Each structure stands twice: as C-alpha cells, then as structure tokens.
Amino acid sequence: MSVSNTDWIKPTALPPIAPRRPHTIVQHGETRVDDYYWLRQREDPTVIAYLKAENAYTEQMMAHTLALQEQLYAEMKGRIQEIDLSVPEKIDDYFYYTRMEQGQQYPIHCRKRASLDAPEQVLLDENRLAKDQAYFRVGAIKVSPDHCWLAYSTDTTGGEAYTLFILNLDSGELLAEQIPNTSYSVEWANDNRTLYYNVLDAAKRPYRLYRHTLGTDPAQDTLVYHETDEAFFVWVGKTSSKAYLLLLLSAGVTSEVRFAPADQPEAEFKILQPRQHEVEYAVAHHGNRFLVLTNEGAPNFKLMEAPIAEPHKTNWRELIPHHQDILIEGIHVFRDFLVRFEREAGLKCIRISTLNSDTTVDAVRDVTFPEPTYTFNPGMNADYNARTLRFTYSSPVTPNSVIDHDMATGNWDVKKQDEIPSGYNPSQYRSERLMVTAPDGKQVPISLVYNQNLFKRDGSNPMLLTAYGSYGYSYDPSFDAKRMSLLDRGVSFAVAHIRGGSEMGRAWFEEARLLHKKNSFSDFIACAEHLIAQGYTSRDRLAILGGSAGGLLMGAVTNMRPDLFHTVIADVPFVDVISTMSDPTIPLTVIEYDQWGNPADKASYDYMKSYSPYDNVTAQAYPHMLITGGLDDPRVQYWEPAKWAARLRAVKTDDHLLLLKINMDAGHAGPSGRYSTLREWAFKYAFVLDRLGLGDPSPSAAPATPPSSSSG
C-alpha cells in the first residue's frame, strides 16, 4: 500500500518526524508492532522523500561545521600522496602495479615487461570507467596465465552486483560478451581461454559457478555447480602452485572444498571432504599432496596433509598440531616454504617453515616485528617459486610499510613506507595496550593511541572508542593517517578487542555468537568503564563508533548504558535483528543463522529480542547520535538505520542531536573514490569534534568543554 501522507514535513528548524503506521508481526504466539515497517517500501516515492528530508535536516544541523569539515578534509588530503605508485609485483616476465594521479579518485592498473625501465602499459584506468558515475567500484580483476587477457568487473550502484568484462591486453579490444549479476569471484583455467565466475540469486547470494569460453555467447555458458543450500556461498579460486582450481563453498562456520586440475577446463570438480556442520577447512597444494587447514577437533585449527590421489580424511596425516593458545588464521604455500599466519596473545604472527620434500615441515622460524603493538596484511605473493614473502606492516604510530621478508635468511627489506606529505613526527604519539576485566572475569585487550603532548590522564581527555566484535573478525591496531586530525586536537583513539572477534583465539569468537552474543556488549561497556575509571577519559568526553555489526554493538550498548557515552556514530548499523533474520529474502540472512541464530527457534528469538537495538529503544535519554546508511546497501538494508532513527526520535526523552544520513548513491561501503571517502570521514569527525566541544576548525591543544545538549 502506498504511503502518501507527508505529515513528517516540519519547519526546517525541527527534525522530520516519520508517521507511525502500525504493522503487526506475530511470531511464537507473540505480537510485535512495528510502526515504521512502511519504510521498507523503497519503490514508494514517499519513502524516498522522507529519506531526503532526513538528509536535508542533517545537512542543516551540520551547516555550522562546514568550515571544520573543509579543514579536516584539507588535513586528510594533505596526508596522502596524491601522485603515488604501488610497489611493483613481478609475475612471470611482467611487473604489475597501480598508480594514482593528482585529482583522480581511482587507481590506474599498469604493467611493464621484463624491466621496470620498460615502457608502461595501462591495463585499466578506473577513472575513465567511472566518468559520469555517482558510484563506481571494481570487483574482480584477474589477468590470464599467459598475460594476454584481463577479466574485470564493475559496480555502479553500490549494490555489489557486478558486470564482468573481458579485455584483450594485446589489442586493447573489449570483447562483446558482458556478463551481468556476478559476484567478486573470477578465475582463469590454464588454457587462457576458459574463465570461471559466480553469479547471484535473488537474495544476492553467489550460488552458481559458470564456465565461459572466450568469444562465445555467455547465454551458452556451462553451469558447473549450483548450490541449493541457501546458507552456502559459492567462490572459485586457484592454488598458489597454479595447478588446481578450487571451488569453495562456505556457510559461516562450515565449509567444503572441491578441486579440479587447472589445465583441464572441462574436468569435474571433486569433493576433497564433504561438508560437516561447524567444521571449516581450507586447502593448499604442494607436490603430490594437499595441505588442509581444519578446525575439526581443533578449535584453533591444525594442519593436515592429504594425498591428492585419495584425499578423503581417513588418509590425512597431521603436520602441525592444534595449540590451545595459538590460532592458525591461514597459510600460504610456496615451492620451498610454508608460511603460517597465526595469532598468539592477541597479536598476529608469521611463522615460516621449509618444505624440503612432500612429507616434512622443518625449521620453523618466527618473523620478528619491531614494535610491541602492530599488524600486517599479506600481499598477493603470486610467485610460487619466490623466496621472499611480501606483506604490509603498520602500527598505531608507524605508517603502512611494504615489506619483502627473505624466507631463508630472515632479512627484512622495506620496499616502501607511506609518506605523509604534510609532515608527521611519530615521536609525538604514543600507543598503549591495556587489559580490562570483563564481568565474567575474561581479560579484554584495548589498543590505545594519543598525542602525548596533549594527553592528560586526569579524565579531561576526549576519546573516540571503537570496536566490531562479530564473525571472528579481528580489529587490529593499524595506522590511519586520517586519525591524526583527531589526535592533534587532543582526542585519543582506542580499539576495544571485544569477544566476537578472534584476537584471543577461536574461543574469543565462539564466546560471543548465538546465545552468547551479549558478551560483546558487556566487554565493550567494561572497556569504556575502565578507560573512565583510569582517567583516560570521562563520560562527557567519550565518543564511540562502530559500523555494520559494529553498528549493532553501538545500538545495543547505547540502549543498555546511554549514560556512559556522550556521542555515538553508528555506520550502516545492523539494528533490526529479529525482523531481518526472519526474512530469508534479504541478502545474507540465511548464511548468518550461524552467527546470530534463527528466529524460528524460540530460544534464539527470545535472545535476539533481548538485545536487538531497534526492539529495545526505550523512553530514556540517549547520547548525541549520527546514524548512516546506504540506499543500495545489500548487507544492511537502508531501512534498518532509517527505522531505528525514527523510533529513537519518537521515544527518547532528551534533546540531544540525532541525525540520519542516507547515502542515496552508494551501498554498504559508503561513497567510492578516495577523495569522496575523505569527505565522508571529515563529516563524521566533524560531528564528533563538534559534539565534544572541539568545533574550532584549527587543531587546538586545549580541549574545550562539550555542549550538554542540542535541539534534535
């Protein structure tokens, strides 16, 4: 039914008020009334008009911060290399790299043959493709094994449904075949003529794998695999040896892998080990065996080997046993080396072993990192025969550094460290690692960084505290040049490594999912209380931020302890937990039953209802709040933040500022393009600084007293 009433329209000094239109939902014999269910009707112009009214109100209420936003944007822009070049990666006879040009939003993908002194060949200029597009993002980008073809995909809405293109790199010709509705996964067979890709179903789940032959009609492509279980996603990849194609089937905490020789494009994918609920495994290839990383009977994972001829697990042999205190997060196999990416005592580790034969793993050596708090991210490492491991290293005070680590000698070679053109003195900043006792006695880490020239541990220091706490994702302490705009205004920055991630091992994740999810919230609250009690900040100086599942965290803790936080930013927040998880037509719902539970189960329904942010809004005073969403977001539908903001407006008892900003041209990741992204962060930081009383555009060494309230 169309919603034609426009009774939210008010004088511009007042916020839009969404009309209540009760919608009755009955589950387990219990009736819930959703007054804002009508906001799901995206096709109704009235809904769009309401979202635009909210955006107009947000723009008006932030108008006094425009000078601050411009200053923040200028600072952030001044810290990036506008003309920049990535460290080239040698693959066969080519050096591949990306470069950025001044004033351009997107990277240009290039290569040189044989030598870095050779002429440059531009493979793909994203700026040209993005011309006249409000949103643009490249999904897959994959060069064929013979380096003659480029498969790439693009999204121009933010909805994460990509169109796949194929480019002849010798002639520059774009083939006529274009394949819509694909996901991120693309892989070449070794014949250089066959391309595998996955497509999306109505719920935007990658559910089918197709095989395409260059120069043929995509309508005639061969369906290789169709996943009928709505909880599983379909991906395709290739082993680092390039010998095998891998069909990867994943469902949260369950996985299955199938394999086929990469030089036999029409070969059948064989199951390595049938799926088993809550058993995950990943596969690499070395010699005449597969290396299988599995958590079966090993919560922190163990490494097994399986003979390729008979890979069933009855033939597996243990190579690296399970360790109660060390989580193996992944492996990378080279011809002569095995690299394990691990996590111990909350910190990421790299352990390197030699692979001298098909039966041994010898000479384990740890990579030594120069700082006590840090993180790293592995590079592509596409050369199977390489003797160096490439990764990107950073810490809260050390900019991103591309490292080539000699796996034989241990030599650490810094190929590039990000420069801060406007200037940066790391000695001005200090990072700390704290441990906080949760209500059940668990020790929760906090990573903290601040400008030590402005920091006082007397409760007067403003702080931005963030966390995620879901899906086993670990929020590691890394460098962020944008953050300097906060630190140089006296705002310290902290990450609470709460349960739900994997910082302290797999149990850290298990202890905050399904019927244990509330541990994430109590951990976060304990971290905030500790920071206040120890004088790092105070209640009227503390802002918090989280996005997506971290936005759920923001909503839950704000309902539970609104007195503890002064300002809240909830980005694309997953807040309407019961209604979303009860609707399998929404993307990601079914696959996330293993994370949140299935509301069809009464116990899961009751537990979700007890913390779902939207369902637990109550008549109380809330902090200043900025809530964001994306109209084309397939992960958290725009109506979740919109409904939550509407209910908060109707129920809360305070006059603190509540803003809703819906990006009408983007999805879950927000605006595309590096400059647009900086402007978005300038807006968010301006909200935080303004609410904390630090609205002077210039960095100040004297934190002001925050305002106690504002209309809205």
Per DSSP, the residues of 131-185 read TT-SS-EEEEEEE-TTS-EEEEEEESSSS--EEEEEEETTT-PBPS--EEEEEEE
Using the predicted structure, report yes or no on whether residue 701 has a pLDDT greater than 60: no
Which of the four pLDDT bands, split at 50, 70 and 90, describes residue 357?
low
Tell which phi-psi region holds residue 396, choosing left (phi > 0), alpha (psi between -120 and 50) or beta.
alpha
What pLDDT does residue 711 have? Answer: 36
CA neighbor of 154 nearest in space, from 133, 178, 138, 171: 138
Q: What pLDDT does residue 360 have?
A: 63
pLDDT for the residue numbered 712: 40
**What amino acid is encoded at 295 in this protein?**
N
Mean pLDDT score across all residues of the chain: 94
Rounded to 5 degrees, φ, ψ at 137 are -150, 135
> For the residues 428-437, what does the mean pLDDT come to?
96
Where is pLDDT greater, at 252 or 451?
Answer: 451
CA angle centred on 313, ends 308 and 319, rounded to 5°: 80
Is the torsion defined by CA of 688, 694, 696, 698 positive or negative? negative
513-544 per-position pLDDT tens digit: 999 999 999 999 999 999 999 999 999 999 99
- Counted residue by residue, the chain has a size of 712
The 3-state DSSP composition of the chain as helix, strand, coil percent (nearest 5) reads 20, 35, 45
How far CA 492 is from CA of 77, 99, 213, in Å, comes to 21, 33, 54
Catalytic residue numbers read 548, 633, 668
For residue 285, which of 265, 257, 266, 264 has the smallest C-alpha distance? 257
Confidence of residue 430 (pLDDT cuts 50, 70, 90): very high
Measured distance CA(141)–CA(582) in Å, rounded: 35
Predicted confidence at residue 481, as pLDDT, reads 97
The mean pLDDT value for 625-646 works out to 97
Distance of alpha carbon 378 from alpha carbon 366, whole angstroms: 15
Rg, the chain, Cα only: 26
Which helix (H) or strand (E) is 186 found in, with range?
Answer: strand 179-188
For residue 45, the surrounding DSSP H or E stretch is helix 45-61
pLDDT of 710 strictly over 60: no
Task: Assign 696 a pLDDT band (cuts: 50, 70, 90).
Answer: confident
How many H-runs (helices) and E-runs (strands) does the chain carry?
A: 12, 38
Confidence of residue 8 (pLDDT cuts 50, 70, 90): very low
**C-alpha–C-alpha distance, residues 333 and 532, integer Å:** 46
Amino acid at 227: E
- Check: CB of residue 666 under 8 Å from CB of residue 577: no
Among 336-350, 470-484, 509-523, 692-706, which is the least confidently predicted range?
692-706
637: tokens are 């539908």
| Contact between 48 and 691 (Cβ < 8 Å) | no
Q: How many angstroms separate the CA atoms of 669 and 160, rounded? A: 10
Cβ contacts of 202 within 8 Å, gap of 6 or more: 585
Amino acid at 499: R
Is 708 a residue whose pLDDT tops 80?
no
Q: What are phi and psi of 354, to 5 degrees?
A: -85, 145
Q: Name the nearest CA neighbour of 628 among 681, 587, 586, 676.
A: 681
Neighbours of 508 (CB within 10 A): 25
Find, among 478, 480, 523, the residue nearest to 501 by Cα. Answer: 523
| Residue 4 reports pLDDT greater than 80 | no
Give the contacts of 430 (CB within 8 A, at least 6 positions apart).
397, 449, 450, 452, 455
For residue 202, pLDDT beyond 60: yes
Distance CA 510, CA 499 (A): 8
Mean pLDDT calculated for residue range 217-228: 98
Q: What percentage of the chain has pLDDT greater than the value 70?
A: 95
At residue 629, what is the residue type? G
Cβ(247)–Cβ(207) below 8 Å: no
> What was the pLDDT predicted at 11?
36
Summarised one tens digit per residue, pLDDT across range 367-406 is: 999 998 899 999 999 999 999 999 999 999 999 999 999 9
Distances (CA, A) of 432 to 372, 451, 498: 9, 12, 16
Which residue segments constitute the domains of the chain, with CATH numbers given?
Answer: 23-76+432-691 (3.40.50.1820), 133-279 (2.130.10.120), 280-422 (2.130.10.120)
Beta strand 463-466 pairing with 429-437: unpaired
Asked whether residue 224 carries a pLDDT value surpassing 60, the answer given is yes
Nearest of 448, 423, 427, 394 to residue 699 by alpha carbon? 423
Angle CA 337–343–346, to nearest 5: 155
Q: Could you write out the DSSP letters of every residue in 98-135?
A: EEE-TT-SS-EEEEEESSTTSPPEEEEEHHHHHTT-SS
pLDDT of 9: 40
β-bridge partners, 567: 543, 624
**Phi and psi of 215, rounded to 5°?**
85, 0
The pLDDT value given to residue 13: 65
β-bridge pairing 222-226 and 542-547 = unpaired
Q: How far apart are CA 680 and CA 422, in angstroms?
A: 20
CA distance 392 to 377: 5
Q: Two tokens at 702?
A: 């004297």
Distance set, CA 96 to CA 119, 128, 237, 243, 679 (Å): 12, 19, 20, 22, 30
